Structure 1
Amino acid sequence: MSVLVSPHFVTTSATSADSGESDGGEEEEENDILRKNPSGGLHILDRIDNGSISPDPMLYNTLLKRCTHLGKLKEGRMVHTHFVNSNFNHYQVIQNTLLNMYAKCGSLDNARKVFDEMPVRDMVTWTALITGYSQNDRPKYALVLFPGMLRVGLKPNYFTFSSLLKAAAGVPSERDGRQIHGYCIKSGYESNVYVGSALLDMYARCGQMDAAEFVFGGLMSKNEVSWNALIAGHARKEKGEDALVLFWKMQREGFEPTHFTYSSLFSAFASTGALEQGKWIHAHLTKSGLKLIAFVGNTLLDMYAKSGSIEDARKVFDRLIKPDVVSWNSMLTASAQHGRGEETVERFEEMLRIGFEPNVVTFLCVLTACSHAGLLDKGQYYFELMKKFKVEPEVTHYVAVVDLLGRAGILDRAERFIREMPIEPTAAIWGALLGACRMHKNMELGAYAAERIFELDPNDSGPHMLLCNIYATAGRWRDAAKVRKMMKESGVKKEPACSWVEIENAVHTFVANDDAHPQREDICKMWEKMCGRIKEIGYVPDTSHVLLFVDVREREAKLQYHSEKLALAFALLNTPPESTIRIKKNIRVCGDCHSAFKFVSKVVKREIILRDTNRFHHFCDGSCSCRDYW
């Protein structure tokens, strides 16, 4: 089977090696080879060696494209070896295809070696390597190539610009992206839909939404990619309302939402905990007929979990067509955050039985669940199990183990574990120990841990407030005042506590002693009424959470207007009886509010779900899902 070499192949393929375009004759020849060789055609190399067929450049080109399409790096190397020993090893078209094969298969070192050894490089050569670096998370390497391409007098095309902009989106600064934007304008590609979509995606990923909107508005024609890039940009900025408005505009202009559209929206609603809006878009996805593939299902699962609906998250997981390790990790995280430690462990064991390989995220989920549920022995066992799966512990895993030991009250072991770690302790690791000292009222060790944190991260207000809390609880007001003075002198500011609740697609935010809400009088009256009712059944305000040296009555009064209590009173006023109340808080819930919520859930006979920075608390009939272990 010999294929004739034609001048047409040599002159035209150079423009299409990277883009995948080909003329009818080449495509027909390639299909003919693949039809006769469904396994990939590599046994043809043996037939060339034994002389039964004559070698041909089109044959090498087709085989390399086949390896690229199937991601067969090993087989691609075999074709490469055969090609360099052939009489056609100087054909630039095949060299470009070879470079592209290595790049698309993720072997960037081999791609660069081919590039460096090529005597002549054209625009396709440079674009193939730039694209390879861009698509394999090596943005700086891609950007460095661009000036070299310009120096040899080559003009980039829209494939080049699209790949360069993707690379520019992967670096911290938008400076490179703006420079490439300038070249796009000079070259007349700015209004090209592919380059324009890459431009606005670059600006959106760099957080420059005004620039992204400007580019979007200037596009002569738009496609699903450009709409999705802008929606995703708003989602990353946690602007769910803006993303939702674009979603409706996209459809009015005749564009159908894709899996990427829905995934971005679910991510936006997950960050804000906007459950009702998330449910609305979920219903829209179902009506659209799109299948619940893994990456969309993962973001939908995450949205439900972070919005406080663990049951809906479980339903999504059970309906996934083909769950992957990210799906399992998302479900494990959801179970852990909602205080279902035993369930998390059971799911992890099921994951192992099915044959999924756990990764660093998987083990972090399990260790966190064990820590929050007080599963000391299991947590230590799973930490050791990481060695079996050759998963190297990261800082977050060490933090989880310190937290596990600390929550269990074994503070001496937690400190010894820190000293024996193979890595240098970070502020987060000492912070876990400090949190445990606050919980178990160990003032001396807590002060020591705090000092280590101040050395490593002096600008974090959290440890300062924890230490202040420890001193205040022990009645050492002078030491507490010293910590506050140190914060003031160092310019360290405490993050203002706030809580928010979503009602009828509107988000209402509250801060402590809030007097700006239009219903403030009704809110205060509702909480005063509720406070009286829960005191009747045993609630006693825990004034140790007021870090000021004032009399008991004043300290109790300050407790009653924490942001989460105001949000709860507002929700009681504005939601139907027996409905679930969902509240979010930007810092850890205080012990007094936690106690009050338990009593309220019993009095009003409603489930109250509170999400703070650590986890979800499900209050029902006077108890909490965390079992007061948080």
Structure 2
Amino acid sequence: MSKSQGLKALNALFKPTSPPAKTTTVTTTTRAHGPSRSPETHFIPLIHASNTLPQLHQIHAQIFLHNLFSNSRVVTQLISSSCSLKSLDYALSIFRCFDHPNLFVFNALIRGLAENSRFEGSVSHFVLMLRLSIRPDRLTLPFVLKSVAALVDVGLGRCLHGGVMKLGLEFDSFVRVSLVDMYVKIGELGFGLQLFDESPQRNKAESILLWNVLINGCCKVGDLSKAASLFEAMPERNAGSWNSLINGFVRNGDLDRARELFVQMPEKNVVSWTTMINGFSQNGDHEKALSMFWRMLEEGVRPNDLTVVSALLACTKIGALQVGERIHNYLSSNGFQLNRGIGTALVDMYAKCGNIKSASRVFVETKGKDLLTWSVMIWGWAIHGCFDQALQCFVKMKSAGINPDEVIFLAILTACSHSGNVDQGLNFFESMRLDYSIEPTMKHYTLIVDLLGRAGRLDEALSFIQSMPINPDFVIWGALFCACRAHKNIEMAELTAEKLLQLEPKHPGSYVFLSNVYAAVGRWEDVERVRTLMKNRGVEKDPGWSYIEVEGQVHSFVAGDHAHVRAEEISLKLEEITASAKQEGYMPETAWVLHNIEEEEKEDALGSHSEKLALAFGLISTAPGSTIRIVKNLRVCGDCHSMMKYASKLSRREIILRDIKRFHHFKDGTCSCGDYW
């Protein structure tokens, strides 16, 4: 049923004079020795207690044997339990086989469909209910309103509001809150506020939910002053009121105001803490998010799954492996199960913090793996350059009956690109369209350009771009540009740079990469010309920063950083490791420096790259032989890559560096990427 058909049906079928549906009554039989338990009262608790679909099927069979399928109470419970077990098709088949559906049967189905995000089905069965002259009640309408809100259909919403008024239910508190919530979610906040102003109960304590819905609505559209004024005017507040406003400030990036409210909050619950933890993490202050998580535990508040996932995401962003391991230990010691949400977050954390073995172990232990869990694991193998493991995981996923989606193909194409498996990557790209009917997105096209470009097949990459059915964007031309720089193809680099500057004249990457291409072949006049153009246009190079975790504390460095408390020791250690590396054959690759300056100054500039500062700090701050893990926000430059190889050999340590593209595992003077990056 289309939305327009639903709108016409609602307009035509709302009949406030429709009589209430008759319900089936079942009498208990009486024997000479007193009343006996009816079959109905025997089966309903059994249905309610069933927690698997096979159990429900067995009970359903017994209901048929006892000729109870015409009993509406039994059928209502069957439908409700089927929906609770996420078996919507089974619930619908039960409904279709029942000859005399009444209000209770419809309510169970409409509610089950809405709660399982089958919103169109919920609305269409509501329309069917009206066609059968079954009058909806206060328990029907909230779930229909929820479905209309999810469909964001303004016409259906207004029509349903009219139907609520015809039925005389507009002042029912349950229905009214749902109406206001619907208007908020379909973008009609004005109607929601009008309903609120007309509500006779709005100044009573029991109307807290109505106030909270409006506060949420104002926050959603960014009207925080209105949200705050509503909050201040409330006759009484609960934790949900505080959490709604705090979340509003968090979503709008005003963490200071959110923190003020959080401190003032009389009783903080797990939602309050989770909102703040998630807010700090989403706004880039991952260290603060983690400190909030530990404070929460110290105050005796048990986290929920969302809290744990938010904390693990913060660890993932800054490479805080030790903190992530500590969270994992807490989960194991406090009865948390490795369900798909927590399991997926742990796999992602371990993979992106450099411990792919632990990621794989958690993946195996995770219960109820879904498509996201598989995609995170395949991505993990891909960014660590483990093509064979990524491919095996892909095959196992399909054997488990899970079909790949566009994200899975992004992961497997990334694995092909990083490992140089060009032909297999091209085959996967074709398979995506031909075998799975998945249309490639711009990201898939970018990966094919990257795949061909890394392999030096630049002409093929350019031809591929020119034959694309969609217009290439900045990122696609950027992928080709990086390949031109790596393979020193000046002519194609200039062509690509022209495209990049046309698309985004203010993007610093275009200027930096082009200047590096010229520098690599000694065209210093062109380097200076690009640098001057960049300066005249007010374009600034993105600052490079790196994170390193030592004893559970994350330290950050920016290029040229001298602010660290151990800056002098770091500088001395870096000089020492550079001198030792030169004795082993290391030569600073000064072509990576943007400025046309003296050779000695270029070496100094290279020495201030953030990953080198993090490396030096790691060498003076951790035990000999321990692994050093560094997270970098940009792609590691060739000189730093070379230095890391020498440093791993000289220090006899493994150095794991995560840049914006992939992981590099340096050990005994070599890198896991095989210098193919």
Aligning the two structures, in what range does the TM-score lie when normalised by the shorter sequence?
Answer: 0.7 to 0.9
User: Which one-letter code corresponds to 2:222 in the other structure?
Assistant: E
Specify whether residues 215 and 550 from structure 1 end up closer, same or farther in structure 2 by C-alpha distance, changes over 3 A only.
Answer: closer
Give the gaps of 5 or more residues in structure 1.
Answer: 7-25
Whole-Å separation in 1 of the counterparts to 2:112 and 2:637: 57
Following the alignment from structure 1 to structure 2, what is the Cα–Cα distance between the partners of residues 487 and 625?
A: 35
User: Which residue of 2 is the match for residue 144 of structure 1?
Assistant: 187
1:588 alignment partner, one of 632, 635, 659: 635
Q: Compute the displacement of 1:198 (Å).
A: 4.4
Does the C-alpha gap of structure 1 residues 130 and 623 become closer, same or farther in structure 2, counting only changes over 3 Å?
Answer: farther
Deviation of the 1:539 alpha carbon: 0.9
| Kept after mapping to 1: 8 A contact 2:416/2:422 | yes
CA distance in 2, matches of 1:332, 1:206: 34
After TM superposition, give the deviation of residue 557 of structure 1 in Å.
Answer: 3.1
What is aligned with 2:459? Answer: 412
Q: Is the alpha carbon distance of 1:81 and 1:182 closer, same or farther for their aligned partners in structure 2, counting shifts above 3 Å?
A: farther
- Pair 1:125–1:412, CA change in 2 (3 A): same
Q: Deviations over 1:529-583 (max 9, x none)?
A: 2112111111111121122222333323332232222221121111111111111
Q: Retained in 2: the 8 A contact 1:534–1:599?
A: yes
Q: Structure 2 vs 1, CA of residues 151 and 123 (structure 1 numbering), >3 Å: closer, same or farther?
A: farther
The residue that corresponds to 1:21 in the other structure is: none
Which amino acid is 2:644 matched to? F
- Partner residue in 2 for 1:104: 115
SS of the counterpart of 2:368?
coil
Contact 1:235 1:264 in 2 (8 A): yes
Shift of 1:145: 5.8
Identity of aligned residues (%): 36
Match of 2:372 in 1: 326
The alignment status of 1:3 with 2:46, answered yes or no, reads no
Residue 288, structure 1, aligned to residue 334, structure 2: yes
What are the Cα deviations for residues 301-343 of structure 1, in whole angstroms up to 9, with x where unaligned? 1111221222221222222233322222111111111122232
Counterpart Cα distance in 2 of 1:508 and 1:87: 65
1:472-511 equivalence runs, <5 A: 472-511=519-558
Structure-1 separation of matches of 2:249 and 2:145: 19
Larger displacement relative to structure 2 (93-102 or 581-590) = 93-102
Per-residue deviation, 1:368: 0.6
Change (3 A) 1:513 1:281: same
Alpha-carbon spacing, 1:454–1:605, altered in 2? closer, same or farther (3 Å): same
Measure the CA separation in 1 of the matches of 2:101 and 2:487.
77
Distance 1:478 1:321, change over 3 A: same
1:223 maps onto 2:262 in alignment: no
1:18 alignment partner in structure 2? none
- Is 1:362 equivalent to 2:408 in the alignment? yes
TM-score normalised according to structure 1 size: 0.83
Partners of 1:233 and 1:254 in 2: how far apart?
21
Contact 2:43 2:63 (C-alpha < 8 Å) held by counterparts? no
Say if 1:129 and 1:197 are closer, same or farther in 2 by CA, change over 3 A.
farther
What's the CA shift for 1:188? 4.0
d(CA) in 2 for partners of 1:469, 1:61: 71
Query: Do the aligned partners of 1:339 and 1:625 also contact (CA within 8 Å) in 2?
Result: yes
Q: Which residue of 2 aligns with 1:427?
A: 474
Distance 1:204 1:220 in 2: 19
Q: How does 1:303-314 map to 2 (within 5 A)?
A: 303-314=349-360
Deviations 1:63-103 (A, max 9, x none): 654454344544655677799x9696xx6x77665543442
Distance 1:232 1:509, change over 3 A: closer
1:129–1:142 contact (8 Å) kept in structure 2: no
DSSP 3-state at the match of 2:187? helix
Distance in 1 between residues matched to 2:139 and 2:346, nearest whole Å: 40
Partner AA of 1:626 in structure 2: C
User: Structure 1 residue 607 and structure 2 residue 622: aligned?
Assistant: no
Q: In the alignment, what sits opposite 1:174?
A: 222
* Cα deviation digits, residues 171-202 of structure 1 (max 9, x gap): 6x533x7646655665546x223454444444
Instruction: Render the CA deviation track for 1:258-279: whole Å, top value 9, x for unaligned.
Output: 3333222111111111111111
**In structure 1, C-alpha distance between the alignment counterparts of 2:534 and 2:420, rounded to whole Å:** 33
Q: Secondary structure at the match of 1:263?
A: helix
Residue 588 of structure 1 deviates from its aligned partner by 1.2
Task: Give the corresponding residue for 2:255.
Answer: 209
Give the 3-state SS of the residue equivalent to 2:546 in structure 1. strand
2-side partners of 1:340 and 1:53: how far apart? 56
The 3 A distance-change label for structure 1 pair 460 and 160 is farther
Q: 2:193 matched to 1:193?
A: no
> Structure 2 vs 1, CA of residues 627 and 168 (structure 1 numbering), >3 Å: closer, same or farther?
farther
Shift of 1:403: 0.1
* CA separation of 1:502 and 1:33: change in aligned 2, threshold 3 A: closer
On the 8 A contact 1:207/1:237 being kept in 2, the answer is yes
Aligned partner of 2:279 in structure 1 is 233
Superposed, 1:332-351 pairs within 5 Å as 332-351=378-397
Residue 523, structure 1, aligned to residue 566, structure 2? no
Alpha-carbon distance in 2 for matches of 1:53, 1:349: 44
Report the alpha carbon displacement of residue 619 of structure 1 after superposing the two structures with TM. 0.6
Distance 1:316 1:72 in 2: 28
Segment drifting more, 304-313 vs 32-41: 32-41
Please give the alpha-carbon distance, in whole angstroms, between the structure 2 residues aligned to 1:27 and 1:461: 73
- Structure 2: any 5+ residue segments left out of the alignment? 1-21, 28-39, 154-181
SS of the aligned residue for 2:549 comes to: strand
Residues of 2 paired with 1:195 and 1:44: CA distance?
A: 48
CA contact (8 A) 1:266 1:299 kept: yes
Say whether 1:564 aligns with 2:611. yes
Q: State the alpha-carbon separation in 2 of the partners of residues 407 and 202 from structure 1.
A: 45
Give secondary structure in 2 for the equivalent of 1:300.
helix
Whether contact under 8 Å (1:325, 1:358) holds in the other structure is: yes
